[in-house]
């Protein structure tokens, strides 16, 4: 893991103007994948229960977008 961090720091120093766009694309892709996974999981038979357990949701009515039926 340390090697990847070192390489990323080196890349940031060598490309001071380009790294932010690449980093933003990476972070946005992580959020997109998470949202797609939750959507796929919610469509399964026990997906709703799994989402509630994974996120430790107590107020089920407070998350209509995540827990749509």
In a domain, 55, yes or no: yes
Three-class secondary structure of residue 3 per DSSP: helix
In a domain, 48, yes or no: yes
d(CA 38, CA 68): 11
This prediction has a pTM of 0.67
Q: N- to C-terminal Cα distance for the chain?
A: 40
In a domain, 56, yes or no: yes
| Distances 19 to 9, 15, 33, 67 between C-alpha atoms, Å | 10, 6, 21, 36
67: Cβ–Cβ under 8 A, 6 or more apart, which residues?
A: 42, 48, 51, 52, 57, 60
In a domain, 69, yes or no: no
In a domain, 8, yes or no: yes
Q: Is the pLDDT assigned to residue 62 strictly greater than 90? A: no
Domain count, the chain: 1
In a domain, 68, yes or no: no
In a domain, 30, yes or no: yes
Residue pLDDT, tens place only, 12-59: 999 999 999 999 999 999 999 998 998 899 889 898 889 889 989 888
In a domain, 31, yes or no: yes
Residue 53 belongs to domain spanning: 2-62
């Amino acid at each position: 893991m340390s090697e990847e961090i070192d390489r990323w720091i080196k890349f940031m120093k060598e490309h001071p103007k380009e790294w932010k766009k690449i980093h933003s694309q990476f972070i946005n892709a992580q959020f997109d994948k998470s949202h797609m996974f939750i959507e796929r999981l919610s469509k399964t038979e026990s997906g709703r229960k799994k989402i509630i357990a994974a996120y430790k949701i107590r107020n089920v009515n407070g998350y209509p977008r995540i827990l749509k039926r």
